[in-house]
Structure 1
Amino acid sequence: MPNNKMVSRVENERFLVLERVYDMPRNQLFQLFKEPEHLKRWWSTDGWELPVCNVDFRPGGVWHYCMKCVDKNQEEYGMESWNKTIYKEIIEPEKIVYNDYFSDAEGNINESMPSPEVTMEFIDLGSQTKLVSRSEFDSADSLQAVLDMGVLEGITQTWNNLDVLVERLK
C-alpha cells in the first residue's frame, strides 16, 4: 500500500494543486513520466488500462492515449476514454508543462470539455521526490466540472499505482 497520501487543494478558484512524496530519486521518477512502457504500468484508475499509449516526449510533442475499462464488475466495462496531452515545456528532470485535453481516437480535441494547463514539478529530496501538480483551468466552473466528474478520486488511484510501481522498482 502507498506509504503516504496525496494532498490536494484548490487555489484562487481555478487551480487544482496536488502533492505527494515518492520514495525514489528525482531522475528515476521523472523517467516514469516519459516512457510509454512505464506509463502503461501506472497511468490508470482501478479496473482500467492503457491499450493505446503513444508518446512523443518533447516540447510540441503529443501523448495520445486511451484508457479502457477492463473490469467486468464496473458499469463502465468496455468504455474507452481518449485523451491528448500536448507538451509545452520539459526541463528534465525538474518540470513538465502540458495542456491536457479530452479527445477522440483520432486525436481530435473535445472543445466542450475542460482543458487545463498542467505543471508537474519534481522536487529533489535526495532519495525521495516531491511531486507537485498544478492544473490551471480557464474558470472556477471548469475546475468544478472536473471535480464533479471524480478527477480527485481518479488521480488518487493513479498516483497510488505510481507508488506501487516505485516500490516494485526499488
Structure 2
Amino acid sequence: MPTTSVHTDPEALAMTLVAESTVPVERLWGAFADPRQLERFWGPPGFPATFTSFDLRPGGRADYRMTSPQGERFHAVWQVTEVDEPHRITVRDLFTDADGTVDDSLPTSETVLSFEAVGSGSRVTVRSSFGSAADLETMIDMGMVDGYEQAFGQLDTVLADLREEALGTGTVTELVDDTHVRITRAFAAPRHLLWRAHTEPELVRQWLLGPDGWEMTVYENDLTPGGTFRQAWAPTGDTEGEPFGFEGENLVVEPERRIVSTERMTGAPFPPNTNDLQFDEADGVTLMTLLVTYPDRAQRDMILTTGMTDGMETSYQGLEREVLSAT
C-alpha cells in the first residue's frame, strides 16, 4: 500500500501517516477491524503483531504484542474510545507489561484512523497525538516513523485476493535491501497443513529432497526457543558429490504461524543468516513468507547465485504433489 506521506508536527505534538489503496473503503476498513488481518501488517517486517484480545467497541480494548526475531516481546493495548464504521476509529495507544498493565513510564498517544473513499479507491489517515514534545521525540527515536512506513508497506498483500493474485506465480524472491531478501510462495491449503509439512519429520522427508539424485539423511528439529535443528543430504546411487547439511538455533516458535531461526551450512566458515518464516491464511490460501537476514551484501549475493529460488520452487512443487494433495 503506497504511503503517500509521513509527517511529524512538533508544534501540534503529532505524527500523521497517509496511505492509499485501490480497494473500496469498506475493504480497507475490514483489514483494520479484523484482528487476524490486522496482525499481518500492524508491525514492521521482523516484528509482527499478535492480538490476544480484540473488542472494537467504545470502551473495549485490543491487547497485542510485537515479537522481535530474537524473541523479545513488546506489549501494548488499544483502549477504544470511538468507532464509526467504516469511517473512523479512535484509540488510546499505550505500552503495557505482559499482563496488560499500562506502563506509565513510556509515552502514550491518542491515535485516530480515518477512512475515506478516493476516486475508485480509498485512503486511510493515521494521526497520533502525544501529550508532550518529549513523548513525541521518544517515539521518533524508537523508530515509529520507519516502523509505520514498513508496516503499511505490507498492507497491499493483506488486501489482495491471494487466490487470484498469488496462486500460480511460484516462488518470488525480492531484494529488500543489502542484507534482506523476502521470498513468498502461495499454496491452496490451510496453514495448519503447511506448518505440519515444515515441522513433522515424516512429512518433511517427503518433499525436502535436495537436488536430483540426492536424499535427505538427517532431519532433527527441537521446536522450542533455544532448540537446535539439523538437516543433511547425501548422494544416492551413482550420483557424485559430497554430503552437505544445514544447522542452526530456533529463536522464535509460534505454532502454525512463525518460526525464526539461525542457519548456516554445516562446517562453513561464514556467519549464519537468520530466517523468519511466517504463514498467513486467507480464504483457504496460505501465503508463506520467508524474510532472510544476511550478515552482509557479499554473502547475500553469493547465496542468491546458487539458484536458490529455482531449487526452492522445485521443492515446493514436491510439497504440493507429495504432501498437500495427499493430506
TM-score greater than 0.5 by the shorter chain: yes
Counterpart amino acid of residue 55 in structure 1: F
1:159 aligns with 2:152: yes
SS at match of 2:66: strand
Kept after mapping to 2: 8 A contact 1:17/1:134 = yes
Stretches of structure 1 that go unaligned for 5 or more consecutive residues are 72-76
SS at match of 1:123: strand
Q: What residue in structure 2 maps to residue 61 of structure 1?
A: 60
1:109 aligns with 2:131: no
Distance 1:25 1:53 in 2: 28
Counterpart amino acid of residue 162 in structure 1: L
Q: What residue in structure 1 maps to residue 31 of structure 2?
A: 32
1:147 aligns with 2:140: yes
Q: What residue in structure 1 maps to residue 44 of structure 2?
A: 45
Of the structure 1 ranges 58-67 and 118-127, higher mean CA displacement relative to structure 2 is found in 118-127
Counterpart amino acid of residue 131 in structure 1: V
Counterpart amino acid of residue 98 in structure 2: A
Q: Percent identity?
A: 28
TM-score (norm 2): 0.47
Of the structure 1 ranges 89-98 and 16-25, higher mean CA displacement relative to structure 2 is found in 16-25
Kept after mapping to 2: 8 A contact 1:6/1:20 = yes
Distance 2:54 2:125 in 1: 21
Q: Return the match for 2:6 from 5, 8, 15.
A: 8
Deviation at 1:127, TM superposition (A): 2.9
Q: Return the match for 1:92 from 85, 95, 114.
A: 85
Counterpart amino acid of residue 105 in structure 2: S
C-alpha RMSD over aligned residues: 1.6
Deviation at 1:168, TM superposition (A): 4.1
Distance 2:136 2:144 in 1: 10
When Rg is computed on C-alpha atoms for both structures, the one with the higher figure is 2
Distance 1:6 1:110, change over 3 A: farther
SS at match of 2:32: coil
SS at match of 1:152: helix
Runs of 4+ that moved beyond 6 A: none
Stretches of structure 2 that go unaligned for 5 or more consecutive residues are 166-327
Deviation at 1:96, TM superposition (A): 0.4
TM-superposition CA deviations, 1:65-99 (whole Å, max 9, x none): 11112x3xxxxx11001011101000000000010
Q: Give the total of aligned pairs.
A: 162
Q: What residue in structure 2 maps to residue 19 of structure 1?
A: 18
Of the structure 1 ranges 118-127 and 57-66, higher mean CA displacement relative to structure 2 is found in 118-127
Kept after mapping to 2: 8 A contact 1:42/1:161 = yes
TM-superposition CA deviations, 1:18-62 (whole Å, max 9, x none): 111122111111111111111122222111223443201101100
Deviation at 1:163, TM superposition (A): 2.2
Distance 1:41 1:53 in 2: 14
Distance 2:76 2:154 in 1: 19
